Amino acid sequence: MGMIQEFKEFAVKGNVVDMAVGIIIGAAFGKIVSTLVEGVIMPPIGLLLGGVDFSDLFINLGKESFSTLAAAEEAGAPVIKIGSFINEIISFTIVAFAVFLLVKGINNLKRKEEKKPEEPAEPSEEILLLREIRDQLKK
């Protein structure tokens, strides 16, 4: 019974819940970035490079020749999907840059909080009394 109780305490801690939310948002963000790369960024780049469709770029390791990646995969030919790899590198770069900006923003906020000057604490009654005595002695 002790292990179940420990697990419950672990599972409901704020850090675990925050981590789960981060993973879910990260997965959704990854899908958005993949769509951005494949549907928005790569087509203009392919057009500028002479109408190349990066998602269809492949290196055929077999002896037969195939005009498309789909045809090669359907035939079961060994291929290296270089276009998919390029798309994933671009997706990773965008995600990494977004995470960098997020962490940088959080760090800036933390630095601003640390730099806030603390209000001086009010002196204790003893200090106030000693100051009053000092001032009376000066007079």
Where are the domains positioned within the chain? 2-138
**Tell me, what's the pLDDT at 117?**
66
Q: Quick one: average pLDDT of 13-30?
A: 79
Q: What is the pLDDT of residues 52-106, one digit of tens each?
A: 777 788 999 988 999 888 899 999 999 999 988 888 888 888 888 888 888 888 8
Q: Does residue 118 surpass a pLDDT of 80? A: no
Give me the CATH topology for the region 2-138: 1.10.1200
CA 57 – CA 40 distance, rounded (Å) = 17
- In degrees to the nearest 10, what's the CA dihedral of 37, 39, 42, 46? 170
Give percent of the chain above pLDDT 90. 10
Residue 52, C-beta contacts closer than 8 angstroms, at least 6 positions apart: 46
Angle (CA) 20-23-25 rounded to 5° is: 110
Interatomic CA distance for residues 139 and 136, integer angstroms: 5
Mean pLDDT score, 8-22: 74
pTM of this structure: 0.57
Res. 129: pLDDT tops 80:
yes
